[in-house]
Amino acid sequence: MTQLLMVGFGGFFGSISRYLLAGWVGRSFPQALHGVGTITVNLLGCFAIGLLGSIFTMKMHLPLEQKLLLITGFLGGFTTFSAFGLEAYYLYRSNEFQQLILYLSTSLIGGMIMVAMGMTLAHWLFK
C-alpha cells in the first residue's frame, strides 16, 4: 500500500509540475515551435530520468519507496516520454539496433495512428 501511495503522491506533483511548466513555456515563447511547452517537458523529463536513474544505480541506493516516488511517480506524472527515452537508450547502449528501430517506429508511428483512430472514433460517435 505504501508503494502505491508513493507513486500516486509523486504523480500528483509531477502532473501539476508538467501543467505549470508547459503552460509557462508556451506563454513565454508564443512564436516558438508548435508544442514547445510539451517538448520542453519531455526533454527535461528525459534528462531527469537519466540523471536520477544513474545516480540511484551508481551512487545512491535509496529505498524502493523513494525511487517509486521520484521516478515512477513524479517523472511518470511529469512525462511518460522520459520512460520511453530511457528504454530506447538502453536498447541503443546494448547494441540492440533492430529492437531500437522497432521500438522507436512502433511507439512514434503507432502512437500517431492510435491518436488518429481515437479521434476518428470520437467524431463517429459524437457527430
Banded pLDDT at 84 (limits 50, 70, 90): confident
Say what the pTM is.
0.76
Asked if residues 10 and 73 have their Cβ atoms less than 8 Å apart, the reply is: yes
pLDDT in the model for residue 4: 96
pLDDT in the model for residue 17: 97
CA distance 116 to 111: 9
CA distance 112 to 3: 32
Banded pLDDT at 100 (limits 50, 70, 90): very high
pLDDT in the model for residue 32: 83
Q: How long is the chain?
A: 127
pLDDT, mean of residues 42-46: 90
86 has pLDDT over 90? no
How is the chain classified by DSSP, letter by letter? -HHHHHHHHHHHHHHHHHHHHHHHHHHH-TTSSTTHHHHHHHHHHHHHHHHHHHHHHHT----HHHHIIIIIIIIHHH-THHHHHHHHHHHHHTT-HHHHHHHHHHHHHHHHHHHHHHHHHHHHHT-
Tell me which residue of 14, 72, 101 sits closest to 22, measured CA to CA: 14
pLDDT, mean of residues 32-50: 88
82 has pLDDT over 90? no
83 has pLDDT over 90? no
- Cα dihedral: 35, 37, 40, 44 (round 10): -130
